[in-house]
A and B are shown apart, each in its own frame.
Chain A
Amino acid sequence: MEMSKMSKKRRIKVLIAKPGLDGHDRGAKVLTMGLREEGMEVVYTGLRQTPEMIAQATLKEKPDIVALSCLSGAHRHLFPAVVKELRNRGMSDIPVIGGGNIPKEDVPFLLEQGIAHVFEPGASVKDVANYIRNKFERSENP
């Protein structure tokens, strides 16, 4: 097998998950397709993931980043719960970001609880892609 002389750039892998019972997944699906077009590998879990299920999926899929989407108002409970489940399984190095229709007032709380970034309504696929790339391209360079 021929090895490229240039350093092989591994594709960034993203796990997109819908925690809780919220069924609005237009954004999650759009982001799945959009980040794939941005050259990333994306796994979308589908609806109704418990924090435990998301942690299990993270163990299995080994993404670089976990992205949570919630539009039912249960983010204050669910997002920190996911962070906790990842921590309990020794995956606290995997950043967790969130989005949906998170009210501005809840963002500081979520950041305190370990969410790396919250995307507010109006954020574009490019915004999310650039954020993710910035987070990982730094650590890719020797």
Chain B
Amino acid sequence: MSAMFDEKYLKRIEQRRKEWETGTLKRSLDRFGVTESPNKFYTPLDIREFDFLEKVGFPGEYPFTAGVYPCQVPGSGPVTGGYHIGGGGGLIRAGRYLGYGTAEDTRDYYQSEIIRGRPGGPNIAFDLPTQIGLDSDDPLAQGEVGKTGVAFDTLADFETIYEPFQGKNNLDKIASNWTINAPASVILAAYIALAEQRGIPLSALRGTLQNDILKEYVARGTYIFPPRQSLRMTRDIIVYCSQHMPLLNPISISGYHMREAGASSVQTLAFTLSNAIAYVQLGVDAGLDVDSFIHRFTFNTLSGSMEVLKEICVRRASRRMWAKIVRDRFGSKNPRSWLLREAGGFLQGAWTATSQRPLNNLTRAVIGGVAGALAGYIPSVEPPYDEPLGLGWSVEGQQLAEDAARIIQYEAKLTEVTDPLAGSYYIEALTDQIEKEAWDLIKKIDDMGGSVGAIENGYMQRAVAQSAYEYQKRLETGEEIVVGVNAFTGEHEIEVLPNRMVPYPYDPAKRAQAEERQIAKLAKIRKQRDNHQVKTILSQLQEAARDEKTNLMPLIIEAVKAYATIGEVCGTLKKVFGEYSGYGTI
């Protein structure tokens, strides 16, 4: 019995549909010489059981389908300029993701950003050695220092990076973002040590640690220890933050990387939520009240695809599902805990950007930003069009991305109405279908022992690789069309390549010598610090690591304060936890 549609009326629609299919539509198909229509059409018949209050409700209220917030204040306004990152007036956000070379190089770049009027704390990209807990002078780090982000070895590097953030931009006035996972404890410890140096209380510190180790095994690769031991580190951070850092987001649960690695939309949704369930369980098992920590959980974007209408449905379903998980599965009583707090208002996926005819990526990102606005986010037009060229984001590319987001917001006014697609027969039907398929997949993961079980037995990794492979096959047969890559590539097509006129802020000379400089700096620190103290703390850390119940944060903070290196801390833990290897999963 439908809550909204009269049964007799639905029967009439059914009748009319049949008449349309065998009459008007068939005549048209015959004229074109095809048996099946290339277009679908949805009617109330596709959402017979639709109940607005149950399925959509109101923005900012359970089930949050229309949006997690009652209203959205737009991004930085026309007068103040700066980044078009959602939040508006009073909200404190981190800036654009960046980092390269040594701490000095990155500090100088942040300084230039501040001069350009870009507010927001550092959104730090770290190099691969750092992300894997290796020192810059580790043999395995050779050739990799300062490449994918800034090199971090000791507290001294944070002291340098945060130099431009003083006075009205001091640590209690900004929010940082740290894209760090396996050694997240070390980075958090460094920030804590820095705050204490500056006399800023921990309770005033804002930021987000990515700290999502489970997806590393599936899609990103910067793991160190095996899954269960890694989750102990995650638990320690969640518990420590719930007790001492009420404004810090200890985790950013990421669907993004799995999607970029080829996972389907349903897989991305289900695997992300399964991982989230595992993280909530950590807090619960540690004895925390669910409403004391879940409200600080955040989600990194679920990425997307060029089929943006479907992506809008994924996002609507995701909000509904998280709310149900937190409220029903974990028994949370505070609606604040049920919000799926997510960054990223672009739904086309970064993976859809092509190096061929790169300006088309701006077109793609605009489509993604439009969809983001329609899905209830502050629109974002990311990444800048030159992302796949491997040269870094040109200032011109960033400008175009910013302006595009502003145009979507202020000219097209696409955020004027919240969830304007609510009630669409297609959108509601697809949202429900995606939700159902995701629940089925979550159940399958549950039966394997949750995300940890599904990662230990390789299921998640293989599932994502299989989806990636199937996409590749469709690309190669032409079933999937990518303009300028496997279609419309004739000689008469024009390549439009704009010049990069503004000097790129990442100085290539500095980047090339970064490894040398960092290694020299590290050698100096190793000489100047109290090595006896470092050794003592590290051996205490090794001992404490053996007791699963001990929270390692206090010792890690002490080690970092004594200028122990990230490699030394992680190396100590490796002795107890061992190392993960993915050999043979595919």
Contacts and interface: CB of A to CB of B under 8 A. Distances in A.
Interface of A: 20-26, 29-30, 32-34, 44-48, 50, 72-74, 76-78, 101, 103, 120-122, 124-126
A101 B144 contact: no
A78 B469 contact: no
Contacts of A74: 143-144, 147
Contacts of A72: 128, 144, 147-148
Interface in B418-472: 465-466, 468-469, 472
Contacts of A50: 140
Contacts of A124: 472, 475-476
A101 B469 contact: no
A124 B147 CA distance: 27
5 contacts: A26-B260, A46-B584, A50-B140, A120-B355, A121-B355
A121 B484 CA distance: 12
B270 to A, nearest CB: 19
B221 A44 contact: no
A25 B217 CA distance: 11
Contacts of B71: none
Interface string B468-488: 110011011000000001000
A78 B147 CA distance: 14
B384 to A, nearest CB: 16
Interface of B: 128-129, 131-132, 134, 140-144, 147-148, 216, 220-222, 260-262, 354-356, 388-391, 465-466, 468-469, 472-473, 475-476, 485, 581-586
Contact of A30 (B221, B262, B585): B262
Contacts of B584: 46
A103 B466 CA distance: 27
B460 to A, nearest CB: 13
Nearest to A22: B128
A32 B143 contact: no
A73 B147 contact: yes
B586 A29 contact: yes
A136 to B, nearest CB: 21
Contact of A21 (B129, B216, B583): B129
Given A34-B473, A103-B391, A125-B473, 16 more contacts: A21-B128, A21-B222, A23-B220, A23-B221, A23-B222, A24-B261, A30-B465, A33-B465, A47-B221, A47-B582, A72-B144, A73-B148, A78-B143, A120-B355, A121-B354, A121-B388
B388 A101 contact: yes
A74 B401 CA distance: 28
Nearest to B355: A121
A126 B390 contact: no
A126 B473 CA distance: 10
A125 B355 contact: no
Max chain B C-beta neighbours (<10 A), residue from A34, A74, A101: A74
Given A21-B132, A23-B220, A23-B221, A30 B469 contact: yes
Contacts of B261: 24-26
Nearest to B260: A26
Contacts of B466: 33
